Amino acid sequence: MKHLIRIAAATLFSVSMCMANANAQQITIDLGKLDSKLAARVIEAQQNIKKAEEKIAVPKVTVSQAKEWADVGQNLATAVGATAKALSVEVNDFVKTPVGWWAFAFIFWYFLGANIWAIVGGTITWIALGSVIWHSFRIFHIPQRKLVFEGEGKVKKYDYVKYAFASNDARTLSAIAHTVMFVVLSIVMLVIIF
Q: Which of 100, 104, 99 lies closest to 79, judged by CA?
A: 104
Count CB neighbours of 9 within 10 A: 10
Give the C-alpha separation, 107 to 101, whole Å: 10
Task: State the pLDDT at residue 176.
Answer: 94
Whether residue 172 contacts residue 7, with contact meaning beta carbons closer than 8 Å, is answered with: yes
Q: What is the pLDDT along the chain (194 residues), one digit of tens a residue?
A: 676 677 766 676 665 665 555 555 556 666 677 777 777 877 787 787 777 766 666 666 676 766 666 676 677 677 767 776 776 666 667 677 787 777 777 777 777 776 777 888 888 989 999 999 999 999 998 888 888 777 776 777 888 888 889 998 999 999 999 999 999 999 988 888 77
Cβ partners under 8 Å of residue 90, min gap 6: 84
Alpha helix positions (H), the chain: 2-23, 36-56, 63-70, 72-86, 91-96, 98-141, 168-193
Looking at the DSSP bridge assignments, the partners of residue 149 are: 157
The residue extents of the domains of the chain are 1-57, 58-193
Global confidence as pTM:
0.44
Whether residue 157 contacts residue 149, with contact meaning beta carbons closer than 8 Å, is answered with: yes
